[in-house]
A and B are shown apart, each in its own frame.
Chain A
Amino acid sequence: MLSRVADSLYWMSRYLERAEHTARVLGTQLNLMLEQGPKSSDRRWLRVLASLGHTGPFADDSDPFALAQAHALRQITGGIGFARENARQVREQISSEMWEQLNRLFHEVKRLESAGLWKSQPLDFLAVILESSHLVQGVTDSTMNHGEGWQFIQVGRFIERAAAIARLLDIYFHEFPAGQPMDSGEHMEWIGLLRSCTAFEAYCKVYTADLRPERVAEFLLLNSEFPHSVRFAADRMQNSLEAINQAAASRRSPRVAKIAGRLSAGLMFTPLEEVVVGLAEFFADIQQQCARIHVAIHEVYITYSIEAAIEV
Chain B
Amino acid sequence: MATPGIDEPRIASGPFSSYVLDSAFDEMFDAQRRPRQHYRALYELLLSLPVEEMRRKKQAADVSFLHQGITFTVYGRDEGTERIFPHDLLPRILTSAEWETIERGLTQRITALNFFLRDIYHEGRCLADGVVPREMVYSCKHFRRQMRGVTAPKNIYVAVMGTDLIRLPDGRFVVLEDNLRVPSGVSYMLTSRQVMKRIFPELFQYTDVRPIDHYPEVLLTTLRALAPEGRGEPNIVLLTPGVYNSAYFEHTYLARQMGIELVEGRDLVVHDNVVYMRTTGGLRRVDVIYRRVDDDFIDPLAFRSDSILGVAGLFNAYRAGNVTLANALGTGVADDKALYAYVPKLIKYFLGEDPILDNVETFLLTEPAERRHVLDHLEKYVVKAVGESGGYGMLIGPHSTAEQREEFRQLIEADPRNYIAQPTLMLSRAPCFFDGKVEPRHVDLRPYILCGDKVTIVPGGLTRVALRSGSLVVNSSQGGGSKDTWVLQ
A residues adjacent to B (C-beta < 8 A):
1-4, 6, 88-89, 91-92, 148, 244, 247-251, 301-302, 304, 306, 309-310, 312
Contact = CB atoms under 8 A, between A and B. Distances in A.
B268 to A, nearest CB: 10
Nearest to A251: B282
Interface pairs A-B: 8 shortest CB-CB: A249-B281, A250-B282, A92-B252, A251-B282, A301-B280, A3-B278, A309-B283, A248-B281
Residue from B242, B243, B267, B282 whose CB has the most chain A CB atoms within 10 Å: B282
11 contacts: A3-B267, A4-B278, A89-B242, A250-B281, A304-B278, A306-B276, A306-B283, A309-B276, A309-B282, A310-B271, A312-B282
A249 B242 CA distance: 27
B190 interface: no
Contacts of B277: 2
B283 A6 contact: no
Contacts of A248: 280-282
Given A3-B279, A310-B283, 14 more contacts: A2-B261, A2-B263, A2-B280, A3-B280, A6-B280, A89-B242, A92-B255, A248-B281, A249-B281, A249-B282, A251-B281, A251-B282, A306-B271, A310-B271
A134 B331 CA distance: 51
Contacts of B279: 1-3
A312 B282 CA distance: 9
Contacts of A4: 264, 266-267, 278
B61 interface: no
B191 to A, nearest CB: 14
A89 B255 CA distance: 14
B262 interface: yes
B348 interface: no
Interface of B: 242-243, 252, 255-256, 261-264, 266-267, 269, 271, 276-283
Nearest to A91: B252
A92 B255 CA distance: 9
A1 B278 contact: no
A251 B252 CA distance: 27
B280 A244 contact: yes
A251 B280 contact: yes
B134 to A, nearest CB: 43
B235 to A, nearest CB: 12
A302 B262 CA distance: 17
A107 to B, nearest CB: 13
Residue of A92, A306, A312 contacting most chain B CB atoms (<10 Å):
A92
Nearest to A1: B280
A274 B264 CA distance: 50
A244 B279 CA distance: 12
A148 B280 CA distance: 9
A93 to B, nearest CB: 9
A1 B281 contact: yes
Q: Specify which of B243, B256, B277, B279 lies most central, judged by the most chain A CB atoms within 10 Å of its CB.
A: B279
A302 B283 contact: no
Contacts of A250: 281-282
B270 to A, nearest CB: 9
Nearest to A300: B280
Contacts of A301: 280
A92 B280 contact: no
Interface centre among B243, B252, B280 (most CB of A within 10 A): B280
Contacts of B242: 89
A304 B277 CA distance: 12
A91 B68 CA distance: 12
Given A3-B267, A4-B267, A88 B282 contact: no
B195 to A, nearest CB: 16
Contacts of B278: 2-4, 302, 304, 309
A89 B242 CA distance: 8
Give the residue among A248, A306, A309 with the most B Cβ atoms within 10 A: A309
A251 B280 CA distance: 7
Contacts of B243: 88-89
Given A2-B277, A4-B267, A4-B278, A92 B262 contact: yes
A92 B263 CA distance: 11
Contacts of A312: 282
Contacts of A309: 276, 278, 282-283
Contact of B280 (A88, A89, A247, A306): A247
Contacts of B263: 2
Nearest to A90: B262
Contacts of B262: 92
A6 B278 CA distance: 11
Contacts of A244: 280
Contacts of A249: 281-282
B99 to A, nearest CB: 32
Contacts of B255: 92
A75 B271 CA distance: 40
Contacts of B276: 306, 309
A3 B271 CA distance: 17
Nearest to A247: B281
A25 B214 CA distance: 53
Contacts of A304: 278, 282
A302 B271 contact: no
B67 to A, nearest CB: 9
Contacts of B283: 306, 309-310
Contacts of A310: 271, 283
A312 B278 CA distance: 14
A138 to B, nearest CB: 21
A248 B284 CA distance: 12
A311 to B, nearest CB: 11
Nearest to B256: A92
A91 B256 CA distance: 11
Nearest to A149: B280
A247 B279 CA distance: 11
- Most chain B beta carbons < 10 A, residue from A4, A244, A304: A4
A252 to B, nearest CB: 8
A53 to B, nearest CB: 29
A89 B240 CA distance: 11
A310 to B, nearest CB: 6
A147 to B, nearest CB: 11
A89 B252 CA distance: 10
Contacts of A306: 269, 271, 276, 283
A256 B243 CA distance: 31
Contacts of B282: 248-251, 304, 309, 312
Contacts of B281: 1, 247-251
A122 to B, nearest CB: 29
A104 to B, nearest CB: 13
Contacts of A91: 252
Given A148-B280, A248-B282, A251-B281, A2 B271 contact: no
Nearest to B262: A92
B374 to A, nearest CB: 47
A88 B242 CA distance: 10
A150 to B, nearest CB: 13
Contacts of A89: 242-243
Nearest to A7: B280
A310 B275 CA distance: 12
